[in-house]
Amino acid sequence: MGITHEINQPLTAISSHLHTAGRHMEKGHLENAQNSLDKVRLLVTKISRITKHLKAFARVAGTELTPVCLDTVIKEAIELMSNQIIEQGCILYYQANHPTLFVLAEPIRLEQVMVNLISNAIDALSSAPTKHLTIEVHQQKNLVTIDVTDTGIGIEEKNLEHIFDPFVTQKEVGQGLGLGLSISYNIVQDFGGQIKVLSTPDKGSRFTLELNKAEK
């Protein structure tokens, strides 16, 4: 549903800009028509990026662990979720301090984990007065940690120990099955890593991925 929305939104805008361009051309306002067509071109490029990600997600993920550029995976996950971030009015903080840092993982499944964590953070920010989403990367010897922190609704302490169980979710009916964190947990376990969470109700949550550093 989220991907459908992301594609339908620019398609609607394209239809509007094409109509506007046609009206400008009828009146001989070629410069204004060109402006509308330039906007169409940008929107088509945006849809192309979305479908590129979908194609990558549709591939059968491999099981072999290889050195994966962490910065590339994080940026692609952010790009895939960019519409939701903008619509929610979130302020995103991510600084690529380690652009050449590699972790032992499988790129498609690692991106799925990052997309899931970012998506959950955005959902948690929907009713928050302050909407900050922060992604930080740290390395300690052979261990790499990725913190995804939000200033959202947080998670009750009694629910924390079950947060990675299948079908556990704080979302309303019809907004998710609660499988994302369970699947993400298993993926990270397959990588030989861990996923942890700290949360305070009404203040926010921090999900931490711990992965093994890899040499390229």
pLDDT band at 31 (very low <50, low <70, confident <90, very high): very high
207 & 146 share domain: yes
Paired strand residues for 194: 210
Domain with 49 in it? 2-58
Which residue has better confidence, 159 or 18? Answer: 18
Q: pTM value?
A: 0.70
**What's the pLDDT tens digit per position in 47-84?**
877 776 666 556 555 668 999 999 999 998 898 888 78
In this structure, the dihedral spanned by the alpha carbons of residues 103, 108, 111 and 112, taken in order and rounded to 10 degrees, is: -130
**Residue 103 binned pLDDT confidence (cut-offs 50, 70, 90):** very high
CATH number at residue 74: 3.30.565.10
Q: Are 32 and 69 in contact (CB under 8 A)?
A: no
Do 81 and 23 share a domain, yes or no?
A: no
Q: What is the pLDDT of residues 146-192, one digit of tens each?
A: 999 999 988 888 777 777 765 444 544 333 334 578 888 888 999 99
Higher local confidence (pLDDT), 215 or 58: 215
β-pairing, 91-94 vs 66-69, is unpaired
Same domain, 84 and 166: yes
Q: Among 19, 36, 58, which residue terminates a domain?
A: 58
Q: What's the pLDDT score for residue 126?
A: 85
Count of structural domains, the chain: 2
Q: Which of 44, 169, 199, 191 shows the shortest CA–CA distance to 103?
A: 191
